Structure 1
Amino acid sequence: MNTEISRKQRLKFFFINVAAFAGIFLLLGFITLQLLQSSAYRQTDYSLEQMAKNDRLIEMEINRYQQDNPFLSQMPDDQRMIKGPDGNNRFNTQIILWSKDGEILNKEVLGGRFTELENLTLDKKQLNAIQSLNLENSADSAQKLAFHSYTIRADHEDSGVAYIQFLANTNQIADSMKNFEMTLILCMVVFWLISIGISFYISKMNMRPIMNAWRKQQEFVENASHELRTPLTIIQNSLQQLFTRPDHTILEESEPIAQALNETRRMNSLTEDLLTLARSDSNQLLLHKEAVEPKIFIKQLAQPFQEIAEMNDKQFVLENYADQPMMIDEKRIHQVLVILLDNALKYTEAKEKIILQSEISNDNWLIEVKNNGPSISDEDKRHIFERFYREDRSRSKETGGYGLGLAIAKQIITQHKGKLTVRDWEPRGVVFQIRLPMK
């Protein structure tokens, strides 16, 4: 892949990840703050609403105003009145009595606390609802006072009280919220900076499979071009040779014609294999599954290979034990076993043994193709299912092939949700194992 394109794609991944992390952190912070603000004032608002329903508490506050006795609540019989219905201390809570004209009636009872409430005004439009208020302290203009308020209409016209307002100071809660917000913002910034480093690493990791796929594609094109070039060159030379002798008969030129036809067949086989792999890569290799009797299927498949082995003085042993129906694409599995058995015949010498074993094991159809020909090195085992990969010995003219057979077999078995593996057969030889799930 072009270096400039690769760099741009990596930067694109990087910025997408950074933006995604930023969005997640902002959304998380917003939700956290909303939930915290909702819960932080919930108890305060609930206490104000309960106080507004406490007739005895209201009656006592009116009595304090009428008797001008701020200590009335400390009498033994009413000692509990300094506590709300939830049992919480009311030192941060004030009860304001208003006249119809919006004048505070219980100024003397409030005492020194009235200086904090001098700028308070009555809002008759917001009755029976929680309000948030911010006032300037007349004693210290730099200090802002925060309150939650709940105002109701009074039923004590004879006392001159028209409205009753319940105030709870929320400065402490507001300060805690500000501290929490600052802490949350700092944490979000720190973790977002960390996420930038993570995004850089993720973008690098995301590019690895793309680069690997690109390299494999390049190798695939180069190898396919190389393999196609050879038969095309032979066909071209054969045809050019025919043109140099136009007076010759077909019988006289049978050798170059036969050679061209042979290479045409080889090229046709190669293109079919390439088409199979391409369809598999694009998920277009459809499987037509049907119920198959393994014992009959294996017996019919093995018969021609047994005859070929016998003709070449090789031992072919069939161990056919699987007897439960399987849902498979018979044509594709047949193709896989032909590839494996063909390779086994190629790489065994006279007097050597080939075993085809079929059995049901642990809810799997287990098929093994064994031969005691040359072993495969550990390095070759790691690459043997790659396209166009061939060991040096398999490049000889005797065996031929393009190194696509095992890659195709692997793809077909994988699409059947199965596994194709290779291992050594002690003391000498190779075992290819197919494991197909019955379900």
Structure 2
Amino acid sequence: MFKELRNKFLMLNLIIITVTMIIAFSTIYLITYNDVKRDIDLELHKISDMNKKQKDNMKEPIPNFNSMEPPKDRSLSFTLILDNEGKTLSTLSIFDMEEEFYEKAKEKALSSNIDKGKFKLEDNHWAFLKISYMDGYRLVFLDITRQQAILTNLILTFLAVALLMLVVIFFISRFFANKAIAPIREAFEKQKQFIGDASHELKTPLAVINTNVDVLFSNGEDSINSQKKWLNYIKSEVERMSKLTNDLLYLTQMDYSDIKMIFSNFNLSETVENVILTMEAVIFENNIVFNYTIDENLIVYGNNEQIKQVIIILLDNALKYTELNGNIDLSLKRINGNSVLSITNTGQGISEVHLTRIFDRFYRIDKSRERKSGGYGLGLSIAKAILEQHDGKIYAKSVMNQSTTFTVELPSL
């Protein structure tokens, strides 16, 4: 699919460039052609005017036309004076050519039935002009082989340049097409994985619910009180599914850039302190030593509730992975114009392999442990999505069997 998309992109790009080159080269050629044609017409009229004033006895013959080199300052030309019946009365030429050549040239010009045109004779290209003169007319001929060669070379040059450019542009376009398709391919793969993971996560609670419902049906004569165990299992799984669907809907909303939360200035220091107050009891119950350092009056621009959710996610994550009697250290400081929140917990740590993927949706280091704690691997994804909307950053570092630190950076006012 992506290969076909890339090929369509390449084909469209090459067609557009080819059409553009054809238009550009055609324009240049037509301008050059009209300039050459205008010069030929001016030269023909100039020769006609000069020969009109010449007398026949002033003609200076030069022998052997075929062996002569054309003068550098002018083109080869001659004039034939004809009567009304097309009979040659006189010839005006500085070159001594055979009468047969003049006759062939005359026949070529007269057979075209036009007053001005071109023809090829003996490997040379000639232009002619027919002008009424006394009781007959005058035929002026000009050798335009050099001009014709210029136009031919121009076409060949255009073709060679166009071919070379298309080859170069093909490889350049393919490179950029691959670059352009890479994010689409990545997004498609993530979406595919996302759907698969979501389906897998929903499959387990649905199976549990279905099993417990079957048990209830098989004991239909028993009272509700005697079936509380199965009903509690069903309720627990429904709550897990509700949390999962709510998190998925929240992430979907975050993915749409046109859906914006209401932003305002708020005191991040107070927000962090409020979250700590709500979680102190849980921290105490888990026999965890909690230390925190918070700089006062750090003001940021954003949505207070969303940032509060990020702090809760990170603290909750630290609680899950801190061993018994372990430590959690929280600090909020102003560093280089940013409000920097760091949460460090002691524990097993996270390996480098997992550190690069912990912010992916549904990614869990220990799936069995996450399921016991009720998690789906969406918390860090939600935190990252929120911070991206706030032009902030989140990253993690860890020392195996010692500690893990999550750091959040937000622009301060």
TM-score of the alignment, normalized to the shorter chain, above 0.5: yes
Q: Does 1:34 align with 2:27?
A: yes
The correspondence of residues 79-98 of structure 1 with structure 2, limited to 5 A, is 90-92=73-75
Are residues 235 and 393 of structure 1, via their aligned partners in 2, closer, same or farther at CA, if it must alter by over 3 Å?
Answer: closer
Correspondence for 1:295 among 255, 259, 269: 269
2:341 is equivalent to residue 357 of structure 1: no
Q: Deviations over 1:50-107 (max 9, x none)?
A: 997x9xx9986554x1474357xxxxxxxxxxxxxxxx96412759698997999983
Alpha-carbon separation, structure 1, partners of 2:85 and 2:281: 114
Matching of residue 14 in structure 1 with residue 14 in structure 2: no
Aligned-pair Cα RMSD in Å: 4.6
Matched, 1:221 2:201: no
Counterparts of 1:5-404 in structure 2, within 5 Å, are 6=1, 10-11=3-4, 13-14=6-7, 17-18=10-11, 20-39=13-32, 42=35, 45=38, 62-63=52-53, 65-66=54-55, 68-70=57-59, 90-92=73-75, 107-109=91-93, 111-112=95-96, 115=102, 118=106, 119-120=108-109, 133-137=117-121, 140=122, 143-147=123-127, 169-185=143-159, 188-189=162-163, 212-243=186-217, 244=219, 246-248=221-223, 250=225, 252-281=226-255, 283=257, 285-321=259-295, 323=297, 325-392=299-366, 395=369, 398-404=372-378
TM-score normalised to the size of structure 1?
Answer: 0.70
Return the letter of the residue paired with 2:156: M
2 CA distance for matches of 1:273 and 1:371?
Answer: 25
1:412 positional shift: 2.2
- Say if 2:266 and 2:302, in contact at 8 Å, map to a contact too: yes
Query: Deviation per CA, 1:310-362, whole angstroms, max 9, x where unpaired?
Result: 34332333333374543212222222221111101111134433233333434
Shift of 1:265: 1.5
Give the secondary-structure state (helix, strand or coil) at the position aligned to 1:108: strand
8 Å CA contact retained: 2:118, 2:125: yes
Residue range with higher mean Cα deviation, 197-206 or 375-384: 197-206
Which secondary structure state, in structure 2, belongs to the residue aligned with residue 176 of structure 1? helix
Conserved in 2, the CA contact under 8 Å of 1:10 and 1:203? no
Aligned residues: 397
Q: What amino acid is the match of 1:428? A: Q
Kept in 2: contact 1:387–1:407 (CA 8 A)? yes
Partner SS for 2:333: strand
Q: Is the 8 Å Cα contact of residues 68 and 109 (structure 1) preserved in structure 2? A: no
Hey, what's the Cα distance between the residues in 2 that align with 1:237 and 1:331?
39
Letter in 1 for 2:265: A
Q: CA deviation at 1:225?
A: 2.5
2:68 — aligned with what?
A: none
Distance 1:332 1:280 in 2: 11
Equivalent position SS for 1:368: strand
Alpha-carbon spacing, 1:101–1:414, altered in 2? closer, same or farther (3 Å): farther
**Structure 1 pair 372–170 and aligned structure 2 pair: CA distance change class (3 A):** farther
Deviation at 1:164, TM superposition (A): 9.9
Shift in alpha-carbon separation, 1:341–1:12, aligned structure 2, 3 A: closer
Percent of aligned pairs with the same amino acid: 23
Instruction: Find the aligned partners of 2:327 and 2:138 in 1 and give their Cα distance.
Output: 104
Q: Which runs of 5+ in 2 are unaligned?
A: 61-70
Asked if the contact 1:370/1:425 (under 8 Å) is kept, the reply is: no
Letter in 1 for 2:358: I
Q: Which amino acid aligns with 1:248?
A: S
The separation in 1 between residues aligned to 2:387 and 2:202, in whole angstroms, is 27
Distance 1:363 1:226 in 2: 43
8 Å CA contact 1:385, 1:410 repeated in 2: yes
Q: Structure 1 residues 216 and 106, CA, compared in 2 at 3 Å: closer, same or farther?
A: same
Letter in structure 1 aligned against 2:58: N
Is contact 1:375–1:429 with CA below 8 Å preserved after alignment?
A: yes
Asked if the contact 2:79–2:93 (Cα under 8 Å) also holds between the matched residues in 1, the reply is no
Q: 1:19 to 1:393 in 2, by over 3 A?
A: closer
State the alpha-carbon separation in 2 of the partners of residues 135 and 33 from structure 1.
23
Cα distance change, pair 284–26 in 1 and its aligned pair in 2 (3 A): closer
SS in 2 for 1:301: helix
Paired amino acid for 1:91: R
- DSSP 3-state at the match of 1:383: coil
Is 1:424 equivalent to 2:404 in the alignment?
no
